Amino acid sequence: MRNSKLVICIENSDYPASLEKRKLYELLPDPVAEKIGQVRIIDESGEDYLYPSSLFVEANLPKAVQSAVIEAA
């Protein structure tokens, strides 16, 4: 498993083509982005981009479920 987490999109009004509300997304670690209130997300394009962290909440899933979702991507 990659060193990543899953988050849920709670707002997409500025990014309707890139993000879907209520959908799980993979968050990649990016300490520099976090310092400026951004997160690195693998979005609908399949690529990773920076988005405001306020658009997401952490998905607190069991490790096995999180691993299965990330590996299926």
Q: Is this model's pTM higher than 0.85 or not?
A: yes
Which domain covers residue 57, as residue numbers? Answer: 5-72
Q: What's the number of domains the chain is made of?
A: 1
- CB of 38 within 8 A of CB of 55? no
Q: Distance between CA 23 and CA 10 in Å, rounded?
A: 8
Taking only the tens place, the pLDDT of each residue in 41-71 is 999 999 999 999 999 999 999 989 988 888 8
Q: Distance between CA 40 and CA 15 in Å, rounded?
A: 14
Domain CATH number, residue 59: 2.30.30
Amino acid identity for residue 52 in this structure: P
pLDDT for residue 52: 98
Taking only the tens place, the pLDDT of each residue in 28-38 is 999 999 999 99
What pLDDT band is residue 1 in, cutting at 50, 70 and 90?
very low
Amino acid identity for residue 5 in this structure: K
